[in-house]
Amino acid sequence: MRGTSLAAAATWLALASPAHAQPRPLSGSGSSGLGSGSISRPGILSGSDVAEGASGGADSSPVRLGDFGLPFGSAVDTGADAGQQRGWNIVPSLGISQLATDNINQTRRNKQAEFVTSITPGVLVTMDTARAQGVVSYDPSYRYYANGTSQSGVDHNFNGQVLLTLVPEFLFLDLRGSASRQAAGGGYNQGGENTTSRDNTIQTTSFQISPYILQRFGGTANLQLGYAFQSVTQDSRDNTVLLGPNGLPYFQDQDFTAHEFYAVVRSGEEFGRLALEGRLISTDYIGTGVLDGAYRRTAAVEGRYAINRFVSALGEIGFEEQRYSGLPPFELSEAIWSVGTRLTFSEDSWVTVRYGHHDGFNSVQAEGTVGLGVRTRLYGSYGERIGTGAQRAADLLTNTTLDDLGNPVDRNTGGPIVQPFANSLLGVQSSVMRTRTGTATISQGWDRDTFSLTLLREERTPVSVDPGTFTEPTSGNSASFTWSHSLSPSTSTSLSLQYGTYESARFGDGNVYSVQASLFSELKPGLVGSLQLISSSRSNQASFDRSRFDRFGDNSSGRALQNTIIAGLRQTF
């Protein structure tokens, strides 16, 4: 319990600080019981879920039904251990931290020192019973800015995924949500909340409620019918965000609700080496800007054939319709297809590669996780998708599971996730974008040391402009290295190095790097103290006079340096 208390409190303390610039630490490889082997829109099943969650039997199929790679994820399995009453665990906490920085806006000119006091209550709830399984982590933070008092306010950090069994082996209710903030104008390290003024941030909040039924027809097939209600809000808090060269903003507040109906049929173990899946998905959006009257609809059949225990052939054919209300309006109605292969090296080491036609273009999709010896693991993924930032926030809810501290991890690979609505490297835009994202993480764990290296590449190309805004293509690369070391059972340290580059058609090219050293110590049972030292620097090669469009008036090329100290205490109860 002592180690758990320290880990949880250290995580919360780091998140309470505006300068938190590294992913929340994972408690393991991402297969912590919640979401282990699960897949799909709330509840679309993987092979292990079909066997255990739906029927209580063993899966005799030589291939796993969860290998299709649907764009959905299930927070928890459907009751493999339903007979075990492990109960609820509720851990409340209260934290306070003091931040001091010499350049709150991280500008080359007009530097402003700032002192920020944060008060952060928190609660971590885990549940594992016959009727409820899930994790909820919520830690809102009230930040008081000593000099810019108008910046003071509450920021929300939240992750939660809960599966309720209403009728055993038949009717389920999936609840999930997430909230975080990011720098509106970009140019900061990608890993979450950086030290910046509050009027340079966007708060994103997303929720989803999905009831569904699940029916198994012996070893022949499994049927799932469901509905999902989604709600997403991206709020600039009535502040003026960065303006483009024509005086129009890159972003305006965006919110939507969505109604999604889905049906999925998957073949059972009687098909042996062959696994088939048919799906119908229809999502209609009611929202602002490009999402006013938008929709996504897909009908497809996907198959996989296990050539042997190491190699499977993948294929898909179907039809899709999409619509967005931007300028010009984006509409497509056409066939989709893909072919690919899955290489399985062991139960927890595999790589899947597909090439196909989706969203109106041909592209490659790849993901995988490979164990490199006992202590080292490699995660990777690459994909392309059309959509808005608000839609990506909703999609993230169905593409991730949570570890036992409430941190999001990839539902397929178990790798850490950089949330798109907490990625501050590229600026926020509310138009429809074609986004290419590639990421790779290698981690190594020892008894007292953990090392992690993450590489990220992202490209955004405008497809349809949100009326009343300006848009442009952007791209960025980043690398982050983190070393965590346990000095004693009650004291740990970490060192994080991050470097990123970004390219903008109008604002030119730039780069950003930071160094962060942290110390966490359990002063007495349940009370953790922290000290963080951060130094961050970014450059910009401005291609025009930014002073006309940048609210900070930083119109010159050059490098801006920011130094920050954060001291904090958190008591868990």
Q: What is the pLDDT along the chain (573 residues), one digit of tens a residue?
A: 444 444 444 443 333 333 333 222 222 233 222 222 222 333 333 333 322 333 333 333 333 333 333 333 333 333 334 344 478 999 999 999 999 999 988 888 888 899 999 999 999 999 999 999 999 999 999 999 999 888 888 888 899 999 999 999 999 999 999 988 877 776 776 654 456 767 777 888 999 999 999 999 999 999 999 999 999 998 886 555 566 667 787 888 888 999 999 999 999 999 999 999 999 999 999 998 899 999 999 999 999 999 999 999 999 999 999 999 988 999 999 999 999 999 999 988 999 999 999 999 999 999 999 999 889 999 999 999 999 988 888 887 877 787 777 777 877 777 777 665 556 778 788 899 999 999 999 999 999 999 999 999 999 999 999 888 888 898 999 999 999 999 999 999 999 999 999 887 665 688 888 999 999 999 999 999 999 999 998 886 544 334 333 444 454 567 889 999 999 999 999
Distances (CA, A) of 365 to 172, 268, 432, 454: 31, 26, 20, 19
Single pTM value for the model = 0.80
Instruction: Give domain 2-572's CATH architecture.
Output: Beta Barrel (2.40)
B/e letters for 36-53, b = 16+ CB within 10 Å, e = fewer, are: bbbbbbbbbbbbbbbbbb
DSSP 149: G
Residue 427 is predicted with a pLDDT of 77
Measured CA angle at 427 (ends 291, 246), to 5 deg: 80
Contact 222, 47 (CB under 8 A): no
Residue 414 is predicted with a pLDDT of 77
Name the pairing type of β-strands 432-445 and 491-504. Answer: unpaired
Tokens of 176: 């999930």
In terms of Cα–Cα distance, which of 253, 246, 318, 245 is closest to 291? 253
Helices (H) and strands (E) in the chain, counts: 3, 26
Give the side-chain half-sphere CA count within 13 A for 533: 4
Q: How far is residue 438's CA from residue 457's CA, in Å, rounded to a whole number? A: 5
Listed as own residue / partner, the contacts of 169-172 with beta carbons closer than 8 Å and 24 or more positions apart are 169/53, 169/54, 169/55, 169/78, 169/79, 169/214, 169/216, 170/213, 170/214, 170/215, 171/211, 171/212, 171/213, 171/214, 172/42, 172/43, 172/78, 172/211, 172/212, 172/213, 172/214
Residue 345 is predicted with a pLDDT of 94
Task: Give the other-Cβ count within 10 Å of 213's Cβ.
Answer: 14
Residue 418 is predicted with a pLDDT of 63
